[in-house]
Amino acid sequence: MHLTHLIIDDFFNDPHAIRQAALNQTFPDRPEKAIYPGRNADKPMQFDGLDRMVSQIVHEPVKATPKYSYGVPRIALEGDVAKQNIHVDFTYWSAVVFLTLDEYCQGGTHFFRHKKTGWDRAPVFPGEAERAGFVNADAAVKSILDKDANDPDAWENTMTLPMKFNRIVLFRGYLWHDAGVSFGKTPEEGRLILPFFFENTHQG
């Protein structure tokens, strides 16, 4: 039995205060190498004990992945597009807390199957990539995404975890996914999220 995703509603005790604190941050232009849609805040928000809470939720020990934008608010408005739509996160678990108010919510996090390979995730388990003719898993991911990340005809949408205010979605980073639609004319109406990324403490 292998857990791949979870949804928890009413995640924060005071979500409106957290939303406002996120909106009060400064959002500089997206760095040239970043692939996500929109802009990250210039600093993370602190949530003491979150890694322990997530460890209890997923029933395995995890800790923050430092190289990712852990707890950094992200805003994406209408017209903001990703440089790479479909992707994977090189993390053990990924999480998104939606901070957009329900009256503005659109879409959610989308998951996909790659039509050519039939894979709904990166080939992370031993031997999978090699049996499909790739040198290794990293080479498989690079080959697939370099060619097909921005080609919607190369993918089948298999699932959407819908956006809802104060909902957290946790999912395995190796699942092919995208950020969904960007929307809103102002930050108050836009796609506002808090992303978190975790590694397994036995592997990190």
For residues 75-106, b (16+ Cβ closer than 10 Å) or e, as one string? Answer: bbbeebebeebbbbbbbbbbbbbbbbeeebbe
Q: Is 166 helix (H, G, I), strand (E, B) or coil?
A: coil
Average pLDDT over residues 54-83: 92
pLDDT tens for residues 12-41? 999 999 999 999 999 999 988 888 899 999
> What's residue 175's pLDDT?
98
Distance, in Å, from the CA atom of 198 to the CA atom of 58, rounded to the nearest integer, reads: 11
> What's residue 1's pLDDT?
66
* Statement: residue 133 has pLDDT above 90: yes
pLDDT tens for residues 94-129? 999 999 999 999 999 999 999 999 999 999 999 999
> What's residue 199's pLDDT?
93
Domains (range + CATH), the chain: 5-200 (2.60.120.620)
Q: Is 202 left (phi over 0), alpha (psi -120 to 50) or beta?
A: alpha
Distance, in Å, from the CA atom of 134 to the CA atom of 47, rounded to the nearest integer, reads: 40
Distance, in Å, from the CA atom of 152 to the CA atom of 176, rounded to the nearest integer, reads: 13
Kindly state the percentage of the chain with pLDDT values over 70.
99
* Token couple for 5: 């995703």
